[in-house]
Amino acid sequence: MRLKDRVAIVTGAGSGIGQGIAEVFVREGAAVVIDYVGKPGAADETLAKIKAAGGRAIAVEADVSDEKQVASLTEQTVRAFGRLDILVNNAGIESKFPFTDFPLDHFQKILAVNLTGPWLCAQAAARQMIRQGGGGRIINISSIHEDLPMPTNAAYCATKGGLRMLMRTIAVELAAHQITVNNIGPGAVYTPIDRDVQANPELEQQLMAEIPLRRWGKPEEIGELAAYLASDAAGYVTGSTFFIDGGMLRNAGSL
């Protein structure tokens, strides 16, 4: 119960890594707001799992790249649970094109979700945490690609590199309010969108060859690291990226 009585927003928590984080947070005692976008019911699976475990959670639809929707997300969180202690910026998208053919509208959308989104959410969360008297945790789900180039994925890599410097800068600024800010940089973590890779033995073997531990990561493993960074045990930890990639960053070429 490392997060007992804490309140957390996890963006993009309808599935995948965000869902894994939300489930671990609830198990550790937190109330969780599941942010999602898209079709109605996109957060139903996460919400059902949490309710079945006896946890407290609500689902809120909010586009993280929209300032008004982010403000509403924060307001609904406080209305439901009385406060906000933890923000996890997990929502993210990518599109792959050769750089010389990269459509501007795809670049702008990736920038809006992956970098403007964390900016807006962190700003709204920090304001609320300061109103409460200070103290809080902001955790960004970045990627090994904040360091590692990935050809045909320039926009995604650029946003993750930008997220690193955003984290480092606001960690220094917000320290005066006892708000810590850190990044988690996952490598290859298996989620349903990776079924095509797993279904192709040759492609999966190529990927595993880049990972010293020779396996996919699990969403709940990202959740465990996020729970540590959100807990009192990490009260003196701020301004850093924590890579969780099976050693991939130390071994990989440009995937």
Question: What is the sign of the dihedral through the CA atoms of 150, 155, 156 and 160?
Answer: positive
For residue 156, give every residue at least 6 positions away whose Cβ sits within 8 Å of its Cβ, in sequence order, or none: 92, 94, 95, 110, 114, 143, 145, 150
Question: What is the sign of the dihedral through the CA atoms of 205, 21, 16 and 141?
Answer: negative
Choose, from 156, 190, 228, 236, the residue flagged as catalytic: 156
Catalytic residue flag (residue 236): no
CB 163 within 8 Å of CB 116: no
Question: In 28-66, where does DSSP find H-type helix?
Answer: 44-52
Which amino acid does the sequence have at 72?
A: S
Phi, psi (5° rounding) for residue 58? -135, 160
Rg (CA), the chain: 17
Which positions are catalytic? 156
